[in-house]
Amino acid sequence: MQIDIDQIEKLAQLGATQIEMARFLGVAHSTLEYKLQQPEFREAYDRGLGNLHMSLKRKQVEMALAGDRTMLIWLGKNYLGQSDKLDTKLTGAGPNGEVQFESAANELDARIARIIERRGTERSSTGN
């Protein structure tokens, strides 16, 4: 069966997967994969995908310019490198309000030691 190169480009432009294309064209997926290894078919496929991407970007920009705040933010982050800046500060009970991890670790070690000691005492009193 002959595969129409123009159909490959149009299907790619619609966003069809290769499996969907093969079904539509009435060929095995492996046949389509083989065809897409040929430069002229690969170029048609890539051209179709490129047109799809440009159409989607064009619509996103139109939406943003029409005042869609969500799209404005998304495009700003993805095309302009903008980002949300979160200022997170941990505070604790240290002399200057800092978090004291060392003292927390020491307290945890002391609790573990007490548990081990208690278990040892319990075992010796029960005869285990």
Domain boundaries defined on the chain: 5-79, 89-128
Listed in order, strand segments (DSSP E) in 1-128 are: none
The pLDDT tens digits for 55-97 are 999 999 999 999 999 999 999 999 888 888 877 766 676 677 7
Amino acid of residue 90:
L
Contact 35, 41 (CB under 8 A): yes
DSSP characters over 107-128: HHHHHHHHHHHHHHHHHHHHT-
Q: What pTM value is reported for the model?
A: 0.60
3-class SS at 21? helix
pLDDT at residue number 43: 98
User: 67 — alpha (psi -120 to 50), left (phi > 0) or beta?
Assistant: left
For 5-79, CATH gives 1.10.10
| pLDDT tens for each residue of 3-62 | 999 999 999 999 999 999 999 999 999 999 999 999 999 999 999 999 999 999 999 999
pLDDT at residue 60, as a whole number: 94
Task: List phi, psi (to 5°) of 80.
Answer: -110, 0
